[in-house]
Amino acid sequence: MDHMPESPGATEYLDALPDAILLLDSSLVIRWMNQAAVHLFGQRIDPSDMPSIDAVIPERHRNTLRTCAKDVLEDHQHDRQMEISAIRADGSELVAAIGLSHLNTSGEPRLLVSIRDISSHRLIESELRTNQVLLAEAQRLAQLGSWRWDLSRNLITWSNELYRIWGVTKSEVPIDFESYLSMIHPDDRDRVHRTITGAIERQESFEIEHRIVRPDGMVRLIYGHGDCARDSDGNVTSMIGTAQDITERKANEAQAFQLALEQAARQEAERSRERFRYLAEVSEALSASLDYQATIDSLIDLIVPRFADWCSINALEEDGTINRIAVAHRDPKKLRILESVREKGYLPHDDPTHPLTRALREGRPELYEVVSDQMLERMVRNPEHLELARQLAPVSYMLVPLVARGKAFGVVTFGTSDSGRKYTEDDLHLATEVTHRAAVGLDNAILFKETQNAARAREEFVSLVSHELKTPLTVIKGYMQVLERYLDRPEWDRERIRKTGTRLSTQVERLELLVADILDVSRIQRGRLELNVEESVELTELAREVMARFDDAIERQPDHQMRVIAEQPVTGHWDPLRLDQVFSNLLSNALKYSPHGGTIEVEISRNGAEALIEVRDEGVGIEREELSQLFQPFQRGKGATRGISGTGLGLYITRQIVEQHGGSIRAQSGSEISTTFEIRLPIDARSDESDQAASG
C-alpha cells in the first residue's frame, strides 16, 4: 500500500468509490488521493510539494484531527470516526464524516482517511427538526393533533398535542382502540364507534364531532377526521387522521352567533321603529287635507328622496286610459326626462303585458329588483322613448296599485337610479303600506269632491228645477189671463183662443217632460228603469218621428237644418218609448247648444249585431275636462253660462236607458267645435236584459 498510486488494481478500485480517500504518512502529509478527493478538493498530489492534511481542514478543527490521527497511528487496533468541517477547492466548507484507519506497509505507518460530504444530510436533518418543531407549535396553537391506527396490531400512535388535549401522559395511555373509546363521553361513545368502524368497512373517510372526558373530569369537544391508508394491493392496513379541540371555538361561535342574533334583532327593531315613524308621518300628512292635489303633492314629498330616487303617480281614467298625474326626481335634470316622457304620452294605454297595465288590472304590487336594458326595450314605445329611459338609468323599481273600495284606480311607481339602491320584499311591503294610506287619502279627497259637487249640483238642480217649473207656470198663468180676457169679450176670437190653447198645451207638455225626468231620476236611484221591449222596432222611422216634433220647438232657429241619414232600415228589439226619449234628449241638446244654427244629423247604421247611432251638431262644443262628467246627474257644461237652459238630467237619463238596453254611449267634442254622441245598441236587447236579470 506504500506504493498505492503505482498499483493499478487498487487505484482503480479506490477511484471508483464515491467517498474521498486520502493516504497520509505519519507526518500527516497527503501522499495520494482518489478521483473523488480530487473532485472535492480540486488538487492532485505533487511529489515535489505534497500538502499536509491541514490544507483541507479548517484551522479550528486541525488539532482535533491530529489528536485522533495520533491515537490511531499509535493504537493499531481501533479506527476512529468523527464529524468535522472540510474545505472545498472554492474555499467553502462542508460537513464531513471522516473515518481514520491505520495501515502498516513496509514497516512505515500510514493513515487511510475517508471523507464523505454529509452537508446535505445535515441540512435535511436540520430542516426536519425545524419542521417538527414548527409542526408541534402549529398543532399546539391550533389545538390539533395527528394520529395513526395500525389495524393489524391495534396500535394507536398519537402526536404530542393529542396527549395534551386529552390531558394524559404517554405512560398513562393504553394505545389501543378500546382504551381510546373509554375516554369518549359515554353519550357519544356508540356513535363514535359506529362512525369509525363503518368508515373502515366502507373504506372511506369520516368526520365527527364528539365529547371526551379528561382524567380531571373536564369535558372537551373534539372534531375528528380520519381516512383509510392502503397497501400496494389496495387493502386497508391503517387509518390516519387528526383530532382538534374545538371547545373554545364552538363557544366563541355560539357567542358570536348570539351576538349576531342580538344585533340583528336590534337592527330589525330599529328598522321597525323607523317604519312605524315613517308610516305615522305618512298617515298624518295624507290625512291633513281633503284636497286631491294637495294629497298628491304630500305623497310625492313623502316618497322622494326618502324612499325613492324618482316616482310617478298614474291614474286610471273612466275611458280606460292612463293619465300620469305627477312625477318627481331627486335630480332636477332627470326630472325633466320624466316630464318629457309624460308630455310625449309614452304610456301603455293599450298594452296589456306592460307591468303598469298589469298592476292596474290585477291590483297587485310588483317588484323588479334589477332593471336590465332588455326590460327597457320591452316596455318602451319607440327608439326615442328607449333613449329617454336609458338616460333615466333605472336600477330597481316597484309598482304598487292605489286600491280603494276593492278597485284599483291608479298606480304609484317607486324607482331608484343614482343611489344604486335595490329594492327588496321588505321595501315592497313598506311601499304597499304607504300606497294603501295614500289610496285612502286620495279616495277620501275624491269622495269629498264628489260630495261637494253633488251638493252643489243638487243646489243648482233645485234652483234650475224651480226656474224651469216657474217658467212654464208663469207662461201658463199669463196665457190663462189672456184666455180669460178673450172669453170675457162679447164676441169670441176663436183663432186667438185656439192659438192660446196650443201655447198652453206646449207649456203643459214642457212641465210633463220635466216631471217625467225627475221621476226617471228617482227610479234610477231606487234601482233601474223598466223596459218594455217590443219586437221589430225600426230606428230610422222612430228618429224621423222624433225629429219632426222639433219643427216648431222653441230652441230651433231658422238656420237650423235637421236630417236623418240611413242607407237602410235598422230593426231590432227595443223599448220604443225609451228610445224616443233618447232621441228627444239628444236632439234637444243639439238644438240648445247650437244657438246660431247649423246642421244637426242623426245617422243610423247596422254594424254586425249592433245598431250604431250618431247624433252630430255644429254647436259650441264641450270642454275636454267636462266630458268625463257629462253623463252624471245634475251636471251642466259651461254652455249653461251662455244662457242655455236645462236641468242637467237629460244625458244622465239617456245613458241609463242605453245601458239598460245593454248598449254604450260616448261623446266626442272639444271647445268651440262640433259634438258627436255615439250610441251602440245590441239588436236584441231582450237577451241582454235577461243576462242582467240573471246576474242581479
The pLDDT of residue 694? 40
Q: Mean pLDDT across the stretch 334-351? A: 84
| The CATH number of domain 281-451 is 3.20.20.210 | no
Q: Quick check: 3 pLDDT over 50?
A: no
Q: Quick check: 125 pLDDT over 70?
A: no
116 against 466, higher pLDDT: 116
**What's the pLDDT tens digit per position in 315-327?**
888 777 888 899 9
What is the Cα–Cα distance from 579 to 571, expressed in whole angstroms?
A: 13
Fold classified for 528-695: Heat Shock Protein 90 (3.30.565)
Cell of 415: 324607482
The pLDDT of residue 415? 94
**What's the pLDDT tens digit per position in 474-491?**
767 776 777 777 777 777
Q: Mean pLDDT across the stretch 90-119? A: 83
The pLDDT of residue 455? 72
Q: For the residues of 598-643, what is the DSSP string, one character each?
A: EEEEEEEEEETTEEEEEEEE-SS---HHHHTTTTSTT---GGGGGT
The pLDDT of residue 19? 87
Q: Are 652 and 631 in contact (CB under 8 A)?
A: yes
Residue 576, preceding bond cis, omega within 30 degrees? Answer: no
Identity (one letter) of the amino acid at 59? E
Residues above pLDDT 90, as percent of the chain: 24
Nearest 5°: CA angle at 481, between 479 and 487? 100
Nearest to 400 by CA among 368, 445, 446: 368
Q: Mean pLDDT across the stretch 449-459? A: 73
Give span(s): CATH 3.30.565.10, the chain: 528-695
Nearest 5°: CA angle at 682, between 680 and 686? 140
Which residues, 6+ apart, have CB-to-CB distance to 672 below 8 Å? 620, 621
Nearest to 227 by CA among 198, 210, 206: 206
| Mean per-residue pLDDT over the chain, rounded | 81
Q: Which of 166-170, 515-519, 677-681, 692-696 has the highest mean pLDDT?
A: 677-681
The pLDDT of residue 271? 79
**What's the pLDDT tens digit per position in 211-226?**
999 999 999 999 999 8
Q: Which CATH architecture has domain 128-245?
A: 2-Layer Sandwich (3.30)
Q: Are 432 and 423 in contact (CB under 8 A)?
A: no
672 against 547, higher pLDDT: 547
What is the Cα–Cα distance from 269 to 695, expressed in whole angstroms?
A: 50
Burial class (CB in 10 A: 0-12, 13-18, 19+), 118: middle
662 against 492, higher pLDDT: 662
Q: Considering all CA atoms of the chain, what is the largest pairwise distance in Å, rounded to the nearest integer?
A: 201
At 2, is the pLDDT very low, low, confident or very high (cuts 50, 70, 90)? Answer: very low
Q: Mean pLDDT across the stretch 405-410? A: 88
| The CATH number of domain 4-117 is 3.30.450.20 | yes
At 309, is the pLDDT very low, low, confident or very high (cuts 50, 70, 90)? Answer: very high
**Stretch among 448-452, 468-472, 545-549 having the lowest mean pLDDT:** 468-472
Cα 179 to Cα 161, 182, 481: the distances in Å are 18, 5, 135
Phi, psi of 100 (to 5 degrees): -115, 125
For residue 592, give the 3-state DSSP assignment. Answer: helix
The pLDDT of residue 331? 92
**What's the pLDDT tens digit per position in 234-260?**
888 999 888 888 888 888 888 888 888
**Model pTM score:** 0.47
The pLDDT of residue 525? 59
**What's the pLDDT tens digit per position in 355-399?**
888 888 888 899 999 999 998 888 888 889 889 889 999 999 999
What is the Cα–Cα distance from 387 to 417, expressed in whole angstroms?
A: 15
**What's the pLDDT tens digit per position in 76-91?**
656 788 888 898 878 8
Q: Characterize the bridge pairing of strands 675-682 and 93-105.
A: unpaired
At 641, is the pLDDT very low, low, confident or very high (cuts 50, 70, 90)? Answer: very low
For residue 527, give the 3-state DSSP assignment. Answer: coil
User: For 450-607, where are the E strands, in sequence order?
Assistant: 534-538, 560-565, 571-574, 598-607
The pLDDT of residue 496? 76
What is the Cα–Cα distance from 172 to 100, expressed in whole angstroms?
A: 46
Q: Quick check: 690 pLDDT over 50?
A: no
At 433, is the pLDDT very low, low, confident or very high (cuts 50, 70, 90)? Answer: very high
Q: For the residues of 334-348, what is the DSSP string, one character each?
A: HHHHHHHHHHTT---
What is the Cα–Cα distance from 137 to 568, expressed in whole angstroms?
A: 109
Residues above pLDDT 70, as percent of the chain: 81
Q: Quick check: 692 pLDDT over 60?
A: no
**What's the pLDDT tens digit per position in 565-586?**
999 999 999 988 888 888 988 9
113 against 455, higher pLDDT: 113
648 against 273, higher pLDDT: 273
What is the Cα–Cα distance from 686 to 48, expressed in whole angstroms?
A: 145
Which residues, 6+ apart, have CB-to-CB distance to 245 below 8 Å? 143, 144, 165, 220, 221, 222
Q: Quick check: 287 pLDDT over 60?
A: yes
Cell of 514: 220635466
**What's the pLDDT tens digit per position in 647-665?**
567 787 888 888 888 899 9
What is the Cα–Cα distance from 523 to 519, expressed in whole angstroms?
A: 6
At 686, is the pLDDT very low, low, confident or very high (cuts 50, 70, 90)? Answer: low
696 against 547, higher pLDDT: 547
**What's the pLDDT tens digit per position in 154-171?**
998 888 888 888 888 876
At 696, is the pLDDT very low, low, confident or very high (cuts 50, 70, 90)? Answer: very low
Give span(s): CATH 3.30.450.20, the chain: 4-117, 128-245
Q: Quick check: 135 pLDDT over 60?
A: no
